Chains A and B, each alone.
Chain A
Amino acid sequence: DVKVTQSSRYLVKRTGEKVFLECVQDMDHENMFWYRQDPGLGLRLIYFSYDVKMKEKGDIPEGYSVSREKKERFSLILESASTNQTSMYLCASSLAAARSSYEQYFGPGTRLTVT
């Protein structure tokens, strides 16, 4: 079974702090994604990566950056956390399209609260 793990289920940070959310997948997937989910807005893509050291902006990248130094690990960074970044953050991974990426596999999510 594919496993996507996220470093924390719940996280509380203060405004202005630098926040790291870590995601690890164990199935040698090329693609990794970060989404945030908010009530009434659904899931929105923040960033994705299709290879090590490669990244592309999603729909709402402002206030976030990412890092992918190893294939299995994709980090989301909030350089200076703000209260409007309080949300559920979901990581996902998938095979590259050339290898038939029909499925994205999601982690359990990290509920981040910024106070």
Chain B
Amino acid sequence: DAKTTQPNSMESNEEEPVHLPCNHSTISGTDYIHWYRQLPSQGPEYVIHGLTSNVNNRMASLAIAEDRKSSTLILHRATLRDAAVYYCILRDLTQGGSEKLVFGKGTKLTVNP
């Protein structure tokens, strides 16, 4: 599996945008970029995914670099409820066993009031 690199931790202030980076320099052409987050004392939850184009949903936006070697998860207005560990994961859905998620260490986001 191609690897991802994320900062261990980031801080943000409430109501401000947050940009969470992820590097994946060995990404292959068929790897999708997925983001999950894990709130304290809960299981992980899906946030967003994309392949080449930027994506938006009700939770966040995903900006993917043109060469796909990096991506950024954008929370447009951070709230205290967004404090969590955010995981960037690559998945090749064309490969057998692609249903598996390989979690790295993620980025722990702290949101200050």
Task: Tell whether A106 is near chain B: CB-to-CB under 8 Å.
Answer: yes
Q: Which residues of B contact A101 (CB under 8 A)?
A: 93, 99
> DSSP majority for the B interface?
loop
For residue B98, give the distance in angstroms from its CB to the closest CB of chain A.
6
**B58 an interface residue at 8 Å Cβ cutoff?**
no
Taking the complex as formed, is B29 at the interface, i.e. its CB lies under 8 A from any CB of chain A?
no
> Across the interface, do B93 and A42 meet the contact criterion of CB distance under 8 Å?
no
Determine chain A's interface SS by DSSP, over half rule: strand
How many A residues face the partner with a CB closer than 8 A?
Answer: 26
CA distance A11 to B66 in the complex (A): 48
Chain B residues positioned under 8 Å from A109 (CB to CB): 41-43
- How many whole Å from B51's CB to the nearest CB in chain A? 11
**B interface residues, Cβ below 8 angstroms from A:** 32, 34, 36, 41-46, 49, 93, 97-106
- Apart from A42-B105, A45-B102: 11 A-B pairs, beta carbons within 8 A: A31-B99, A35-B103, A48-B99, A50-B99, A58-B100, A97-B98, A104-B44, A104-B101, A106-B42, A108-B43, A109-B41
